[in-house]
């Protein structure tokens, strides 16, 4: 079977593939374990604020999930920022992440972006090896202050 990438949302953030949104939840929760019980409701909020979703489909199963958005800033110009990139644990090291990242890079180029960027938890060493292998680098530190 050939894996394919499905854009779950359109360019305006409307869900155009609701069945794939439902199927994405279990894989997405492998990365974001604290997502609320109302997954679709939470993602509707994210989509309303610029988030977009794509999945890697293996037959009728979700093999990976990518949540992304466009950001304009003063130091990079237009960037495609990846909020979440996760491959189903049972399908890792089979090209799923590479396919999703390639899809996002193509999308970024098509949208006139200067940069493709993401943050990755300091503890995710295996993911970092993958990102380095895919030509990404670490340009700085991310500082954060919890407000609640």
DSSP class per residue in the chain:
---EEEESB-TTS-BS-HHHHHHHHHHHHHH-TT--S-HHHHHHHHHHTT-EEEEEEETTEEEEEEEEEEEEETTTEEEEEEEEEEE-GGGTTSSHHHHHHHHHHHHHHHTT-SEEEE---TT-HHHHHHHHHTT----S--------
User: How far is the C-alpha of 97 from the C-alpha of 103, rounded, in Å?
Assistant: 10
- In tens, the pLDDT along 102-112 reads 999 999 999 99
* pLDDT band with cut points at 50, 70 and 90 for residue 125: confident
Higher pLDDT among residues 127 and 26, named by residue:
26
pLDDT of residue 32: 96
pLDDT at 131 over 80: no
> Residue 120: which of 106, 107, 131, 135 has the closest Cα?
131
Q: Please report the pLDDT score of residue 138 as a whole number.
A: 82
Q: How confident is the model at residue 1 (pLDDT cuts 50, 70, 90)?
A: low
Residue with tokens 């890792």: 92
Rounded Cα distance between 93 and 101, Å, is 14
Backbone angles phi, psi at 42, to 5 degrees: -65, -45
Sign of the CA dihedral with 106 first, then 108, 114, and 115 last: negative
Confidence of residue 126 (pLDDT cuts 50, 70, 90): confident
């Amino acid at each position: 079977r050939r894996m394919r990438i499905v854009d779950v949302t359109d360019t305006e953030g409307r869900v155009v593939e609701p069945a794939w949104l439902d199927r994405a939840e279990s894989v997405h929760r492998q990365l974001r374990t604290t997502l609320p019980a109302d997954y679709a409701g939470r993602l509707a909020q994210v989509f309303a604020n610029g988030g977009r979703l794509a999945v890697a489909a293996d037959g009728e199963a979700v093999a990976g999930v990518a949540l992304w958005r466009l950001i304009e800033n003063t130091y990079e110009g237009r960037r495609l920022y990846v909020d979440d990139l996760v491959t189903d644990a049972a399908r890792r090291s089979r090209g799923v992440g590479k396919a999703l990242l390639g899809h996002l890079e193509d999308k970024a180029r098509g949208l006139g972006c200067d940069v493709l960027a993401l943050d990755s938890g300091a503890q995710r060493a295996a993911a970092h090896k993958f990102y380095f292998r895919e030509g990404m680098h670490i340009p700085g530190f991310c500082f954060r202050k919890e407000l609640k």
